[in-house]
Chain A
Amino acid sequence: MKNAQEPKSFNAIRPRIARVRCIVEASRVIEGEVLFSSSPIAFLQGVDPEKGIVSEKQHEIYNKPFANKILVFPNTVGSSVGAYVIYRLKENRVAPRAMINQVSDIITASGCALSAIPLFDLPNSKISELSKTKEIKIEKNSQIIVRS
């Protein structure tokens, strides 16, 4: 985790715990601000891996940097080469600290696995519940702590 900083203090006023399914585990505690998208992401041709942003102009998180964020989005769409784009984000040090999907797919899973980016999905709750979340802390690989 070369690009992760030391965790800051986590001043949870009303922390909530959500259960997650771990696809690629985190090797240490991770926390970060949430970057939330209710629509899927196409990594190939929809993301600029040099800048680390969604490059599709119509996309709801267009131009918002992934770096140091917990990227929350339903799933990946488009070409399976997207897995290699995720790897490139990591190499360029502009990848998110972790990703959370509604239901992970093979492109996100293989891309995060190649790049050692922690990945979780949410079998028991709706991703939309995280839409107003400001920060997420991942201490264990089975649950996340959510601060709104």
Chain B
Amino acid sequence: MYLTQSEEKALAGEYGEPLEIAYRVLLAIGRLGNAERLIPIKWAHVSGVSYLTIGDYGSDFLQRISKIKGTKFKVFTTVNPCGMDVENWDRLEIPPEYAEKQLKIISAYQKLGIANSFTCVPFQSYPVPAKGTHVSWAESSAAIYANSILNLRTNRESAVSALASALTGKTVYSDLHIDANRKPKFAIRVKFSSRRRLIGSVDYGILGYFAGKVTGGVIEFQGINSGMNLSESKALCAAVGTVGSSGMFTFGRSKDLECMDFTEKEYSNTFEEISDAKDGDAIVFGCPQMTIEELYQLSKDLIGKHFKKRCIVFCSSKVYDLARSRGYAGGIEKAGATFVRDSCADFTPLISSLKVSSVLTDSAKGAHYMKRVHGMKIALKDTKTILEQNLN
């Protein structure tokens, strides 16, 4: 792989150990993908923030790097949600030993220089660059959203490779950064016999979960309206990323692609695979984290109502602050829901501490991880149904 003179110097350690390591990581990943060079990026999004995901091993590395004098992220960098609401953890059933370890990770990232929000939907809170811009995003749901909805270019980065991108401001020029590789290789044709249409985050989550499992390349969805709303596209991207390795989808009607049908049968098989309970003891909204549009809708639906069971709402602190200033957050809290800011339903110890064995959610991705990480039974239902059945 070709490196410029200054990249070679960095690799040789002339600009310090963190950059030496970061370039070694980019070079190794570039060689895996037979890349010819590195390219500059405008935005890095780094995963590996919750202590539940990176543990002591990741934490110790980050702390060590962040303490080396002069080590700073070179480009605009956002990071994934952490494992708790940083300002409210002690009131939210987070064990103090966990909190202490989580705070060390947060402080390491803050020393390196990150935007002031922990989020898996970074495109909600920060201005999205022009179409075609190269970025380096870990967090599969965000990377797929970047490629498929925002027309940015990124590979599905790992925690380590996105960290290397943040430190260097560069990524490997390979795969989805190159035009020729962004063409679909496989089609999923939505073909319902009745007049039923896909609608809402559950339907799109089920489609994404099915599609992610059957192919790892760029997917072309056929027979659905590309004008889906933000909740639907967010759910689709998250579910595609949960299973398998696809990093992008398109919409179209190509005739020459290998194609698989998604009929009522595939829909119900996939639903049954994800949803293994009729009802849940607690409600979890916000996987991926809720957007301001979703909080607005929720606040409207909750006027004059009250939840019959525990309801947890995950969103970033930035979106929460906006929702509070517009009055949505107050309305949602008045209905008995609890906000957890800057955290993740899948990787917070809060879910295990709820003392429930089943969860109601509208998220296929959330269902997948809450089942595996927290041993929950899952009832997958759309928001409207959850509200109809669980409000006084």
Chain A interface (Cβ < 8 Å from any Cβ of B): 21-24, 44, 49, 80-81, 83-85, 87-88, 104-107, 109-114, 116, 119
Q: Are A113 and B21 in contact (CB under 8 A)?
A: yes
CB B167 to nearest CB in A, in angstroms, measures: 12
User: In the complex, A49→B58 CA distance in Å?
Assistant: 13
User: In the complex, A112→B159 CA distance in Å?
Assistant: 15
Q: Are A114 and B25 in contact (CB under 8 A)?
A: yes
CB B352 to nearest CB in A, in angstroms, measures: 18
How many B residues touch the partner, as a band?
20 to 34
With A80-B159, A81-B48, A106-B161 as contacts: A113 and B28 at CB distance below 8 Å: yes
User: In the complex, A136→B192 CA distance in Å?
Assistant: 59
User: Which among B24, B29, B55 is the interface contact of A81 at CB below 8 angstroms?
Assistant: B55
Q: Are B160 and A104 in contact (CB under 8 A)?
A: no
User: In the complex, A113→B158 CA distance in Å?
Assistant: 14
Q: Point out the residues of chain B lying under 8 angstroms from A114, CB to CB.
A: 21, 24-25, 61, 160
Q: Point out the residues of chain A lying under 8 angstroms from B164, CB to CB.
A: 110
Q: Point out the residues of chain A lying under 8 angstroms from B48, CB to CB.
A: 81
Sample (8) of A-B pairs whose CB atoms are under 8 Å apart: A24-B24, A24-B28, A81-B48, A81-B57, A104-B32, A106-B161, A116-B21, A119-B28
Q: Are A23 and B32 in contact (CB under 8 A)?
A: yes
Q: Are B54 and A106 in contact (CB under 8 A)?
A: no
User: Which among B55, B57, B60, B160 is the interface contact of A110 at CB below 8 angstroms?
Assistant: B160
User: In the complex, A90→B160 CA distance in Å?
Assistant: 16
Please report whether the interface of chain A is mostly helix, strand, loop or mixed according to DSSP: helix
Taking the complex as formed, is B27 at the interface, i.e. its CB lies under 8 A from any CB of chain A?
yes
Chain B interface (Cβ < 8 Å from any Cβ of A): 21, 24-25, 27-29, 31-32, 48, 53-55, 57-58, 60-61, 158-161, 164
Please report whether the interface of chain B is mostly helix, strand, loop or mixed according to DSSP: helix
User: In the complex, A119→B31 CA distance in Å?
Assistant: 11
User: In the complex, A87→B160 CA distance in Å?
Assistant: 11
CB B36 to nearest CB in A, in angstroms, measures: 15
User: Which among A44, A85, A110 is the interface contact of B25 at CB below 8 angstroms?
Assistant: A110
CB A24 to nearest CB in B, in angstroms, measures: 5
Q: Point out the residues of chain B lying under 8 angstroms from A22, CB to CB.
A: 31
Q: Are A23 and B61 in contact (CB under 8 A)?
A: no
Q: Are B57 and A113 in contact (CB under 8 A)?
A: no
Least CB separation from A106: chain B residue: B158
Q: Point out the residues of chain B lying under 8 angstroms from A105, CB to CB.
A: 32
Q: Are A109 and B57 in contact (CB under 8 A)?
A: no
CB B88 to nearest CB in A, in angstroms, measures: 27
User: Which among B24, B32, B57, B61 is the interface contact of A106 at CB below 8 angstroms?
Assistant: B32
Least CB separation from A24: chain B residue: B28
Least CB separation from A91: chain B residue: B60
CB A82 to nearest CB in B, in angstroms, measures: 9
Least CB separation from A21: chain B residue: B31
User: Which among A49, A80, A119 is the interface contact of B160 at CB below 8 angstroms?
Assistant: A80
With A24-B24, A85-B57 as contacts: A110 and B161 at CB distance below 8 Å: yes
Q: Point out the residues of chain A lying under 8 angstroms from B27, CB to CB.
A: 24, 113
With A106-B158, A113-B21 as contacts: A84 and B58 at CB distance below 8 Å: yes
